[in-house]
Structure 1
Amino acid sequence: MKRVRELRGRRGLRPGIGSPFQILLLACSFALAGYAGVRLLADDWLGVALWFVGAALLHDLVLLPLYSVLDRAVTGGLGAARHREWTSYVRFPAALSGLLLLVWFPLIGGRVDASYQGVTGLSADGFLARWLLVTAVLFGGSALLLALRLLRSATKRRSPDVH
């Protein structure tokens, strides 16, 4: 507590603004976001607004409770097994896999028009298999990292044999 008071005394209560480069970068990002918003809303502002509200409602009313329950189940299961610190090794690949599924759902689910191939020149086949492969690689890599961590911690705990 004393250390916090000393640091406040030296710096005062003034919030850090950042370097001029950071301020310039922030201003440019706001300008780019404003430009994109104006261009996006110029054509079909009602459709964009409905999509945005629908996406927010879908996330808040369906997806957030769903992945909160799943996270609670994983955390509880690993906590019951006394390995709660392993939670990140499940959360990370699950979050990336879920994000890929969310972004590419129409292609993964096979819900594309016949015009997709004509417009893109690509086949809509194989997205499910590739998503499953990426998911397996993510979980496999996470399991490998966990195994390496456990192996390293096991070798640190072991005392060297003295001959």
Structure 2
Amino acid sequence: MRRPRPAVGSPLQLLLLACSFALTAYAGLRLLDGDRFGIALWFVGAAVLHDLVLVPLYGAADQALLRGFEAAGGRRWVSYVRVPAALSLLLLLVWFPLISGRVADRYAFATGLSADGFPARWLLITAVLFGGSAVVFVLRRRREATHADQG
């Protein structure tokens, strides 16, 4: 008869798990030290906005992208648009307060730095992401064409 395996593999894993919970509890207490209602409202609002508004928009945009690539005859190439778009939108989501300039004064007061360059930097990063993806796309298409001519 086999003995059941323990849920935690080793004492080191248990120690690391306990440390991660302690760190999370500390971060949560520090975060909620200020405006608890505002932070709770922000978390709930972010969850509702993401689940009820953004996820359907992501899905609709992805379906439109897939239909467009199917019409062009290459559904396997959709990742060359999907990956840079997802990374760019993630950066926009994370840095939106600074990109939009809504918290520029507070950022300058807290850090002593100007928030003026954030929109231009985000656009530059987006251009680099899409440009890099386009370069990889062209190189792979060229390699496939070369292999098709040889074989």
Q: Same-fold call, TM > 0.5?
A: yes
The question of 1:72 aligning with 2:25 is answered no
1:30 is matched with: 21
Query: Which of residues 27, 41, 45 in structure 2 aligns to 1:50?
Result: 41
Counterpart of 2:93 in 1: which secondary structure? helix
Cα distance in 1 for residues equivalent to 2:10 and 2:131: 41
TM-score by length of 2: 0.82
2:81 is matched with: 90
In the TM superposition, residue 43 of structure 1 has moved relative to its aligned partner by 3.7
2:95 is matched with: 104
- The amino acid that maps onto 1:119 is A
- How many residue pairs were aligned? 150
Cα distance in 2 for residues equivalent to 1:15 and 1:75: 45
Cα deviations across residues 44-71 of structure 1 (Å, max 9, x unaligned)? 3332222111110010111111111111
RMSD in angstroms over aligned alpha carbons? 2.7
1:6 is matched with: none
Q: Percent identity at matched positions?
A: 66
TM-score by length of 1: 0.77
Cα distance in 1 for residues equivalent to 2:67 and 2:33: 48
After alignment, is 132-141 or 42-51 more displaced?
A: 42-51
**Which ranges in structure 2 are unaligned for 5 or more consecutive residues?**
none
Cα distance in 1 for residues equivalent to 2:45 and 2:108: 28
Counterpart of 1:158 in 2: which secondary structure? helix
Q: 1:39 to 1:128 in 2, by over 3 A?
A: closer
1:62 is matched with: 53
**Which ranges in structure 1 are unaligned for 5 or more consecutive residues?**
1-12
Cα distance in 2 for residues equivalent to 1:74 and 1:15: 46
Counterpart of 2:150 in 1: which secondary structure? coil
Cα distance in 2 for residues equivalent to 1:19 and 1:152: 48
Structure number with greater Rg is 1
In the TM superposition, residue 18 of structure 1 has moved relative to its aligned partner by 5.1
1:139 is matched with: 130
After alignment, is 108-117 or 127-136 more displaced?
A: 108-117
